[in-house]
Amino acid sequence: MSLPCVTVCIPTRNRAALLTSAISSVLSQSFGDYILLVADNASEDGTEALVRSFTDPRLRYLRHDADIGPAANFNACLRAAESEHVLMLCDDDVLHPGFLEAAVRVLRSNDRIGFVYTTWQRRRDDGTIEDRVINPAGLTSTRILPGSEFIELAILNQGGIAHTSSVLMRAAAVHADGFDPRDGFAMDVGLLLRVAAHWDIGFIAAPLVSVRLESDSLTGRIVGLGSNGRVKWDLDADLKRREVKMRFLEGPGRDLSNAASLRRAVNRIFRRRVMWHSAMALRSGGHLRAAGHMLAQGLAVDAGLVWDPYAWRTGLAALAGPTLTNLVRGHRT
């Protein structure tokens, strides 16, 4: 029997209430040559019964008897995938029906592509999908990027430019170690940077995935929830993103021709974020202790914060409010 073209992996733990939509979105794909693997990380709810209620022969179920953590569960999926391509679908996200067909087409067009990714949209808890398309890199057309170009875009972006659920990877491009547990919630950023160090990258300029970003999403559980009910990106999250990018630039990416300038850019972005967070702590209620703590954290990581004028300008603009922010950015108010 020939191996399937794609393995779609859904790592999960205690998410039976949300898992149905993710599974159904895979089983509704227009492209049918795949295996769907649900990797259950020792769930204590009705996850197993829910998965077994689906009768599609392409569905497989893998259960861990003890909680091994998110990264280890993701890596277990990679090891279990026996296919040319693999997708890690978060258990509360959904694929649009044409995702696999479009992504496989791009991967088959060029054997130098290590992974292909799409833009995405936010999915609310009631199942509705927001109209806004999330495209952090601002690319406007479907294309193949040299790995070095993807790396630069990803490094210079404040967060990541490809969501885990929007990425179909060539199995041969994924290092045996897979996701690095040290990368925490940004483990997808670290993995994709490492792949891009050796492969070209495909981009599809269409929102073919809907992503749920709430407090109990994987990212939300790790990073936390903000006052608006959405994932909270605080200084700890910025520290982690800096750590992941620097680990790449000092490791697999150290031989890039622009590695030194990218390291400087990571530091500049981090300094600005430190000042922004500190200013917002003051602006939201005069929390001097919180602001001071953030500055101390930032200085412990990068002493260049003291003399970076752009960082201080960012902090002053955030403290003064939208009017000065627009003036600093050169916008008319």
For the stretch 124-183, pLDDT in tens is 888 888 999 999 999 999 999 999 999 999 999 987 899 999 999 999 999 767 999 999
Angle at 57 (CA atoms; ends 79, 19), nearest 5 degrees: 70
Confidence at residue 319, expressed as pLDDT on a 0 to 100 scale:
82
59-64 and 113-123 beta bridge pairing: unpaired
Please state, in angstroms and rounded to a whole number, the distance separating the CA atoms of residues 278 and 289: 10
Look at 215 and 80; give whichever has higher pLDDT. 80
For the stretch 169-222, pLDDT in tens is 999 999 767 999 999 989 999 999 999 999 999 999 999 999 987 655 655 554
Confidence at residue 322, expressed as pLDDT on a 0 to 100 scale:
57
For the stretch 228-261, pLDDT in tens is 545 455 788 899 999 999 999 999 999 999 999 9
C-alpha Rg value of the chain to the nearest Å: 21
Return mean pLDDT, the chain: 88
Please state, in angstroms and rounded to a whole number, the distance separating the CA atoms of residues 99 and 208: 5
| Nearest CA-CA partner of 146 in 44, 256, 69, 305 | 256
**How does DSSP assign 43-86, residue by residue?**
--SSHHHHHHT---TTEEEEEESS---HHHHHHHHHHH--SSEE
Q: Where are the beta strands (DSSP E) in 55-199?
A: 59-64, 85-88, 94-95, 113-123, 129-134, 143-145, 167-170
For the chain, the residue count is 333
For the stretch 225-234, pLDDT in tens is 454 545 455 7
Domains and CATH numbers, the chain: 6-220 (3.90.550.10), 221-328 (no CATH)
- Partnered with residue 87 across adjacent β-strands are 8, 168
Tokens representing residue 171 in the block? 């199995």
For the stretch 279-333, pLDDT in tens is 888 887 667 888 888 899 899 999 999 889 989 888 888 888 754 555 455 544 3
For the stretch 6-27, pLDDT in tens is 999 999 999 998 899 999 999 9
Confidence at residue 277, expressed as pLDDT on a 0 to 100 scale:
86
Q: If DSSP codes are grouped into helix, strand and coil, which group holds residue 12?
A: strand
Q: Is 60 exceeded by the pLDDT of residue 223?
A: no
For the stretch 81-90, pLDDT in tens is 989 999 999 9
Confidence at residue 1, expressed as pLDDT on a 0 to 100 scale:
58
